[in-house]
């Protein structure tokens, strides 16, 4: 019998970068759960953000069918990846296999989870305080990445998560840094979008999240991921990194004038 060719490629740095980009830039995803009544699959669309380490965060209501399903069986999957022009199957997408963990309102990380989600999904402010809504962290176990035709990869949670010593410090400094940059340095943020994310047109970009790997930028419904040249190992490295990146982007802009 002819041996079936393994279509899954070895995971490399390019695949990890693509996977992290899909994860960090997602605004929504398709959440699949197991229906407690029939045991069959049940899929629905949910808003998505990420925690500092890259763990997906969702906000769901007890009135939704997927919430009782997660309470009965925490196993779930999340499909990420937006469709562009042309063949929808030609665009990158990734399926995460996860277990959902509820974030209680008195949990130490609740404020951070809420803040990061609302920065990414500001319209959720209308209902986040309602008693039937709760945040869940989707603890990733593994992932399947399809980067386009012939580009299939199997990733582990270690490939996707950013386990950095800087995370503890960023938990406290992220919000003031984000507020400061958005209020006083919009020019630098737009330079980040142009130079490090390749956006040619002008925009009104703001920072929606900062983590040890990089920045999440938003402009209306548009989302960009900007990676730092090096992963932060200490939260104190953030300010020098942002200054250095702004300088690099300005010098590049001058050369292109």
Task: Give a three-class secondary structure readout of 154-204.
Answer: EEEHHHHCCCCCHHHHHHHHHHHHHHHHHHHCHHHHHHHHHHHHCCCCCCC
> Rounded to the nearest 10 degrees, what angle do helices 166-184 and 110-120 cross at?
40
pLDDT value of residue 257: 65
Report the C-alpha gap between 191 and 252 in whole angstroms.
10
- Check whether 114 has a pLDDT greater than 90: yes
Give the pTM.
Answer: 0.92
pLDDT value of residue 154: 96
The pair of three-digit structure tokens given for residue 173, joined into one six-digit string: 């400094």
Select from 128, 12, 124, 138 the least CA-distant residue to 70.
Answer: 138
- Check whether 1 has a pLDDT greater than 50: no
pLDDT value of residue 5: 56
- Check whether 2 has a pLDDT greater than 70: no
Where does the pLDDT of residue 196 fall: very low under 50, low under 70, confident under 90, or very high at 90 and above?
Answer: very high
- Check whether 4 has a pLDDT greater than 90: no
pLDDT value of residue 83: 78
Judged by DSSP in three states, 73 sits in coil
Cβ pair 23, 160 in contact under 8 A = yes
Report the C-alpha gap between 199 and 190 in whole angstroms.
9
Give φ, ψ of 198 to 5 degrees.
Answer: 75, 25
- Check whether 6 has a pLDDT greater than 70: no
Where does the pLDDT of residue 147 fall: very low under 50, low under 70, confident under 90, or very high at 90 and above?
Answer: confident
- Check whether 34 has a pLDDT greater than 50: yes
Supply the mean pLDDT for the chain. Answer: 93
Where does the pLDDT of residue 87 fall: very low under 50, low under 70, confident under 90, or very high at 90 and above?
Answer: confident
pLDDT value of residue 84: 75
- Check whether 168 has a pLDDT greater than 90: yes
Where does the pLDDT of residue 115 fall: very low under 50, low under 70, confident under 90, or very high at 90 and above?
Answer: very high
Selected residue with higher pLDDT from 82 and 242: 242
Average pLDDT over residues 117-122: 93
- Domains of the chain with CATH codes: 8-161 (2.30.110.10), 167-248 (3.20.180.10)
Other Cβ atoms within 10 Å of 245 Cβ, number: 20
């Amino acid at each position: 019998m002819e041996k079936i060719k393994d279509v899954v490629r070895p995971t490399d740095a390019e695949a990890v970068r693509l996977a992290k980009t899909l994860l960090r830039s997602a605004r929504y995803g398709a959440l699949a759960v197991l229906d407690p009544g029939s045991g069959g699959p049940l899929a629905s669309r949910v808003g998505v953000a990420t925690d500092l380490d890259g763990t997906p965060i969702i906000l769901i209501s007890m009135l939704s069918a997927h919430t009782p399903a997660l309470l009965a069986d925490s196993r779930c999957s999340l499909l990420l990846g937006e469709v562009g022009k042309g063949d929808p199957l030609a665009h990158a997408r990734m399926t995460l296999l996860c277990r959902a963990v509820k974030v209680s309102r008195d949990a130490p990380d609740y404020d951070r989870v809420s803040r990061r989600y609302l920065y990414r999904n500001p319209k959720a402010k209308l209902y986040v305080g309602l008693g039937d809504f709760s945040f869940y962290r989707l603890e990733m176990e593994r992932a399947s990445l399809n980067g386009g035709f012939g580009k299939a990869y199997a990733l582990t949670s270690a490939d996707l998560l950013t386990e950095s010593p800087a995370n503890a410090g960023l938990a406290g400094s992220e919000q003031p840094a984000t507020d400061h940059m958005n209020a006083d340095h919009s020019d630098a943020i737009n330079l980040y979008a142009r130079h490090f994310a390749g956006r040619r047109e002008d925009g009104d970009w703001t920072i929606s999240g900062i983590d040890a790997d990089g920045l999440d930028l938003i402009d209306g419904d548009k989302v960009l991921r900007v990676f730092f040249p090096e992963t932060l190992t200490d939260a104190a490295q953030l300010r020098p990194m942002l200054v250095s990146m702004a300088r690099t982007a300005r010098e590049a802009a001058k050369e292109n004038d």
